[in-house]
Amino acid sequence: MEMQQVRYFLALARELNFTRAADSCNVSQPALTRAIQALEAEFGGPLFHRERSRTHLSELGRMMLPHIEAIQSQTEEAKAQAKSFSKAKDIELKLGAMCTIGPKVMSDLIVRFHHDFDGVALVVYDTEGRALADMVLKGDLEVGIVGLPDPLDERLHAIPLFTERFVVVLPPNHRLAQKQVIHVSDLDGEPYLNRVNCEVFAPARKVFVEKGVNTPIVFRSERDDWVLGMIRAGMGWGFFPEFCAIPDDLPVRPLIDPIFDRTINLVTMRGRPHSPAVGAFLRSVRAHTWPTPEGDWQALESVH
């Protein structure tokens, strides 16, 4: 079905006269008639009953009318949004990114999005994962980037972006830096610097306790840079996502036995109409090349 057939059908349904319908569409009557006949062949039956003095919708035509009206309406809405977006300036898109997601993972996407849609001002809100999901549900944020160990609220639609594992970050010259990988058992007795917003802290802590591994917390902060600074000062070890912005001078080792990881998702509210800016951002997200974990940690786990 072509859009001109939609237009001709709706004109004829309105006018109930082939001549007037053709005039309203600015086409010849034979051209309109051929288009309607092609549509009837596609639908498998007559859409109009043609009589000498009048034309009226058939039962099939009445059945198809609301569907074809919906197609026309959706097409016009899409065109209007596209036209509005192409002319718009200073549109603001509110994006929430979980505070534990490193900016280097998002930077290339944001730069590319700004290049392609320079009329959109992207405002990024930084908060804890569960609070971020609630902000999307309430409409305070249009889009969220979040990764939580618990299942997401059913009202949220999630698009998986990438998976990242958790690593151990050590002070320079730490004894464990000599190891290729770190087992959970290796950390027994080692002072731990806790990132307050670490969403896997609770499940990881449970595993540590089950294995009889005690890592006393000697420092806690909501700021990753403070935790990294205290690690550099030799205060203890930290637990970070592998794609976090970790300084090159700090030893980073895979944590195995077991491996901890998380999946980062883009979330929106199900059923909520998207603005053109959200639609553009979703297209950019789908076209973006996301990072993949480096190395086969499962193989390391079996060897070591």
Query: Domain limits of the chain?
Result: 3-87, 91-162+262-303, 164-261
Indicate the pLDDT class of residue 50, thresholds 50, 70 and 90.
confident
Choose the most confident range, by mean pLDDT, from 66-75, 87-96, 287-296. 66-75
* Residue 124 predicted with pLDDT over 70: yes
The predicted pLDDT at position 78 comes to 75
Options 3.40.640.10, 3.40.190.10, 2.60.40.1730, 3.40.50.12280; CATH of 91-162+262-303:
3.40.190.10
Fold equal for 91-162+262-303 and 164-261 = yes
Over range 209-229, report the average pLDDT. Answer: 94
The predicted pLDDT at position 198 comes to 87
Over range 64-86, report the average pLDDT. Answer: 79
Please spell the DSSP secondary structure of the chain, one letter per residue. Answer: --HHHHHHHHHHHHH--HHHHHHHHTS-HHHHHHHHHHHHHHHTS-SEEE-SS-EEE-HHHHHHHHHHHHHHHHHHHHHHHHHHHHH--SEEEEEEEETTS-HHHHHHHHHHHHHH-TTEEEEEEEE-HHHHHHHHHHTS-SEEEE--SSPPPTTEEEEEEEEEEEEEE--TT-GGGGSSSEEGGGGTT--EEEETT-TTHHHHHHHHHHTT----EEEEES-HHHHHHHHHTTS-BEEEETTS---TTS-EEEEESS--EEEEEEEEETTPPPPHHHHHHHHHHHHS------S-HHHHHHH-
Indicate the pLDDT class of residue 296, thresholds 50, 70 and 90.
low
Over range 53-72, report the average pLDDT. Answer: 89
* Residue 301 predicted with pLDDT over 60: no
Q: Is residue 167 classed exposed, middle or buried when 0-12, 13-18 and 19+ CB atoms within 10 A define those classes?
A: buried
Over range 214-223, report the average pLDDT. Answer: 94
The CATH classification number of 164-261 equals 3.40.190.10
Average pLDDT, the chain: 87
Indicate the pLDDT class of residue 92, thresholds 50, 70 and 90.
confident
43: CB partners within 8 A, 6+ apart: 60, 64
Over range 53-80, report the average pLDDT. Answer: 86
The predicted pLDDT at position 294 comes to 65
Residue 199 in 3-state DSSP? coil
Instruction: Quick: pLDDT tens for 178-205.
Output: 999 999 999 999 999 999 988 888 889 9
* Number of Cβ within a 10 Å radius of residue 156: 17
Instruction: Quick: pLDDT tens for 256-282.
Output: 988 999 999 999 998 888 888 888 888
The predicted pLDDT at position 99 comes to 81
Indicate the pLDDT class of residue 170, thresholds 50, 70 and 90.
very high
* Residue 293 predicted with pLDDT over 60: yes
- The verdict on pTM exceeding 0.95 is no
The predicted pLDDT at position 182 comes to 93
* Residue 76 predicted with pLDDT over 70: yes
The predicted pLDDT at position 244 comes to 85
The predicted pLDDT at position 87 comes to 53
* Residue 79 predicted with pLDDT over 80: no
Instruction: Report domain 3-87's class.
Output: mainly alpha
